[in-house]
Structure 1
C-alpha cells in the first residue's frame, strides 16, 4: 500500500500508536530485566548460603543445573556457569544491600532494599540505571572491577549510553574509569561558572586517548592532515573513543570572520553537554601558540555558530605529548574553556612499557 494514498489522519494515528507500542515495549523490557535481576540475585543468595556453608557437596551446582533442565525443558540462563554467576552477583552486592537471603524467600528480595543500597553506595546514583543493565553486563563489570564507585560508573554508562556487551568490554579493557574526567589540564575552573556543567565537561574528556585505528606506515611523524584523514575514515571508532553522545559536524569546518577564512580541524556537538566541541590536531608536542588560536576559534563559534540556548563552545588540543608547565602557563589568561589531551596509536607502546623495554637502537644492537 502506498503511503501517498493514505489519509494524513490515518498516518498520524499510525505514528501515535507506533510511539505507544515502542514505549510499551521499552517499559516491558525494563521491567522484565528488573524481575530477572531480582530472581538471579535471590537464587544467588540461596546458592551462596547453602554452598559456602558446606551443606552441599562439591558437585551440587552442576547437579542442580542438570535437574532444572530436566524439570523445565528449554530453560535458558540456568547453566552451572550462570548459577555460579548468580552467586557472584549476590555476594558482590549483598554488603551494599545489607540484607541476607532466607532459604524460603527467593522472590522480591531487591525491591525493599534499594533505598538502603542508595545510602550505602552513592546518594546520587540512579537506581533505575542498575535495573536497566543486563545480567551479562553486570557480571563482566564484577569480574573486571573491584571498587564500588568504579562499578557504579560502568553501570551508569551502560544504562545512559546503551552500551552493547562488546562496547562495555572495550571500555573495560581501555580502563575508561581511570581516564574518565581525568583530563588534568583544562582552564574549566576559571572559564565555566556553572558547577554542574563544569563537572560534566570534565567527565566528558580523558587525559589520553588510544586511537588504535590509526595505522600509518611512515618513517617520520605523520602530518596533521594525514591523521585527520585517518580519523575521518574511521569516524565511528573516533566517536567511540570519546563517547556515543558526540555527533560529528565536519572536518576543516569553515568560519569566516571579517572577510578572512578560518578552518577548524574537527567540529563535534556533544548532546550531553549541549555544546560545540572543537578539536585541534597536532602531530607533535603542545606549543603555547596553540592556545591563542583555539581561543579565537571558540570565540568565533560562540559568535557565529552557537545557538542561544546552547552552552559555551569547548576546545580540545589533541597532541602527541605535552609539558604540564607549558600548558599551565598557556592557559593562565585565557577566557574560553579548553583543555589539552594526548593520543597514541596502535603501533605505540604505553609509557609504562616504554620505560621498561629497551629502545629500538638497543634492540637492533642485541639482534
Structure 2
C-alpha cells in the first residue's frame, strides 16, 4: 500500500490539483450521504414518537392502551423492516418526541432535500409544530445524529439539555465529544467560571476532545445508521 502511495509524491501542480479535486468530490459525497441518513433517521424517529402519542390519546384507559399501541407498532415495523424496532426502542422514540417537541422537523428536512419531493406529496405537515398554542422557536439541527439525541435525552434539566443541543450543533461536536462534555459537567463548569476565564475551559475541552472530532463522518462504520438503512450487520459491514 505504501509503495502505491509513493507515486503521488512527485506529481506536477496540475496533476496534484486533479487528485485533490477528485478526493474532495468523493469525500463530500460520502459526508452528505452520512448526513442525509442521520437527518432522515432523526426525523423518522421523531415522527414515529409523535404518531404514537397521537394514537395513545385516542384510548380511554391510556396506560393499558399505550402499551398495546407500542406493541402493535413494534410488531408491524419489525415485520416490515427487520430488527431495530423493539418495544423498548419505540418507547425511546416516544420519549424523544416528548423531550424535543419544539424541533421544527419539516423545515430542516425540506431545506436540505427539497428537490427530492418536487413531484411528491410533502413528507411532513407544512405548519410548524406548536406547544400549547405557541409556535416553537428552534429548527432541527441538520448535523446531529440519533446517537446525539439519545445522549441528550438523558440530561434531565431542560435548560442544560437545550444548551448542549445548540452547542453540539453550532460547534459540530461528534457524539463522543458531546458524551464527554456532558459527563464532565462542561455546562456547569462554564457557568461557574468567571467570564474572563471561560476561554481556558473552552480551550481545555477542545484539546481533550480533539481526537474525538477526527473523521466524524464514517458512514457504514456507524451500526445505528447501518441498521436504519437496512444493511446487514455481518463482517462485511463491521468496523473491522
Q: Normalising by structure 1, what TM-score? A: 0.41
SS in structure 2 opposite 1:113?
coil
Residue 65 of structure 1 corresponds to which residue in structure 2?
A: 74
Shift of 1:243: 1.6
In the alignment, is residue 151 of structure 1 matched against residue 161 of structure 2?
A: yes
Number of equivalent positions: 183
CA distance in structure 1 between the aligned counterparts of 2:129 and 2:200, rounded to whole angstroms: 31
In the alignment, is residue 140 of structure 1 matched against residue 151 of structure 2?
A: yes
CA distance in structure 1 between the aligned counterparts of 2:206 and 2:9, rounded to whole angstroms: 36
SS in structure 2 opposite 1:243?
helix
Shift of 1:40: 1.5
CA distance in structure 1 between the aligned counterparts of 2:137 and 2:190, rounded to whole angstroms: 19
Shift of 1:52: 4.5
CA distance in structure 2 between the aligned counterparts of 1:4 and 1:96, rounded to whole angstroms: 48
Residue 260 of structure 1 corresponds to which residue in structure 2?
A: none
CA RMSD of aligned residues (A): 3.8
Residue 128 (structure 2) aligned to one of 97, 105, 113: 113
Residue 97 of structure 2 corresponds to which residue in structure 1?
A: 90
Residue 342 of structure 1 corresponds to which residue in structure 2?
A: none
CA distance in structure 2 between the aligned counterparts of 1:134 and 1:26, rounded to whole angstroms: 13
Residue 183 of structure 2 corresponds to which residue in structure 1?
A: 173
CA distance in structure 2 between the aligned counterparts of 1:13 and 1:115, rounded to whole angstroms: 50
Alignment of 1:224-303 (within 5 A): 242-244=204-206
Q: Normalising by structure 2, what TM-score? A: 0.60
Shift of 1:44: 0.9
Shift of 1:8: 4.1
> Residues 80-124 of structure 1: CA distance to partner in whole angstroms, max 9, x if unpaired?
222111111212222575x9xxxxx99424x752899xx7446xx
In the alignment, is residue 21 of structure 1 matched against residue 61 of structure 2?
A: no
Asked whether the 8 Å contact 2:148–2:175 carries over to 1, the reply is yes
> Residues 302-336 of structure 1: CA distance to partner in whole angstroms, max 9, x if unpaired?
xxxxxxxxxxxxxxxxxxxxxxxxxxxxxxxxxxx
Shift of 1:36: 1.9
Residue 199 (structure 2) aligned to one of 179, 182, 204: 204
Alpha-carbon distance change, 112 to 37 in structure 1, aligned in 2, over 3 angstroms: farther
Gaps of 5+ in 1: 100-104, 189-201, 210-238, 249-367
CA distance in structure 1 between the aligned counterparts of 2:43 and 2:80, rounded to whole angstroms: 22
CA distance in structure 2 between the aligned counterparts of 1:32 and 1:247, rounded to whole angstroms: 25
CA distance in structure 1 between the aligned counterparts of 2:129 and 2:171, rounded to whole angstroms: 23
Shift of 1:51: 2.4
Structure with a larger share of its residues in helix: 2
CA distance in structure 2 between the aligned counterparts of 1:205 and 1:121, rounded to whole angstroms: 31
Asked whether the 8 Å contact 1:43–1:106 carries over to 2, the reply is no
CA distance in structure 2 between the aligned counterparts of 1:114 and 1:28, rounded to whole angstroms: 27
Alpha-carbon distance change, 246 to 60 in structure 1, aligned in 2, over 3 angstroms: closer
> Residues 148-207 of structure 1: CA distance to partner in whole angstroms, max 9, x if unpaired?
x322321233234444434433322332212224312x6x4xxxxxxxxxxxxx65345x
